[in-house]
Amino acid sequence: MVIQSIGLKKQRAEKPLELTKNQYALILPIGDVHFGAPGFPKDRFISHLQWGIERGAYFLGMGEYLDFTSESQRSVMINLRDSTRASIDDMIKALADEFVEKIAFTKGRWLGLLKGDHSWTFMDGRNVEQYIAQKLETNYFGTSCVLRIFPAGFKNESADVVLYCHHGVGFSQTLGGQLNRPKDLAFAFDADIVLMGHSHAKIIGTIDKQIITRRGLHYHRTIHIARTGGWFRGYLSHLAYELDKPAIYSEGTYVEKRGYLPTSIGGLVIGIGYDCIDGTKEYKPLIHMAI
């Protein structure tokens, strides 16, 4: 698990957006992109990123940037001969290069990238997430990370926000069930925000904690938990094909085949600020999430 502190300067935005008081950071989690999948909503995805850039946002990669192998498929392909794996490496790098080219205007605005399930490890030992991170000039966070975000130059260290981020595991057919795993981790880590992707749900929740310090100070601290959405279109429609066409053209995605709920296309917007605790010189986070 990566642990990193990041001081952020407030960005000058073409179109300012203040979600919360004393806002010093606007963060957009970007995950479960599945770039290259049939029906990928390219224009909507690029517009989402451009919207963030115009408002001075930072991006946080939640995993699964390309539409390629799952873990079970990789276990089969690992025994391919070297020449075949080298060809696959070249194919994956070409897809990653195309993805980076489309989002090149975001370079320098990423906090870092997590690994996802749809990954690939090249023959040199690096994975595709590292490759993309290098192209975007950002950090690679691996499986999970804890980020301490604070306003650069602000003298009081209590004006920070701690994020625990994990690509995600599990899923549920109910809205409440989607938040069970991030809710559990909110109690395992002393974090203000717990983010997970993976299930393609886009849903947020809050837990209000009562903080009582050893000096007897009592205040409320709201913990935010969320699944961060995705960009994979689980259901694609078309007219009936001619009967002499290969049957595979008429088959749906794995979402359709298994009768899963459709993906919540899009991502979250997180505003991070701070507020003075009444009667003290200490601060607590002010966080606002929008879907």
- The pTM for the full model equals 0.88
Number of structural domains (the chain) is 1
State the pLDDT at residue 106.
Answer: 97
- Mean pLDDT score of the chain: 87
Q: What is the pLDDT of residue 271?
A: 95
pLDDT given at position 77: 58
Residue 75: per-residue pLDDT = 55
Segments of the chain scoring below 50 in pLDDT: none
pLDDT of residue 49: 97
Q: Which domain holds residue 47?
A: 2-290
pLDDT score for 93: 93
- What pLDDT is stored for residue 152 in this prediction? 85
CB atoms within 10 A of CB 57: 22
User: What would the pLDDT profile of 220-244 be if each residue is shown by its tens digit?
Assistant: 889 999 999 999 888 888 888 888 8
Question: d(Cα 140, Cα 162) in Å, to the nearest integer?
Answer: 18
User: What is the CATH classification number for the domain harbouring 120?
Assistant: 3.60.21
Kindly report each contact of residues 217-221 with a partner whose C-beta sits within 8 Å and lies 24 or more positions away, as own/partner: 217/277, 217/280, 217/282, 219/277, 219/278, 219/284, 221/192, 221/284, 221/285
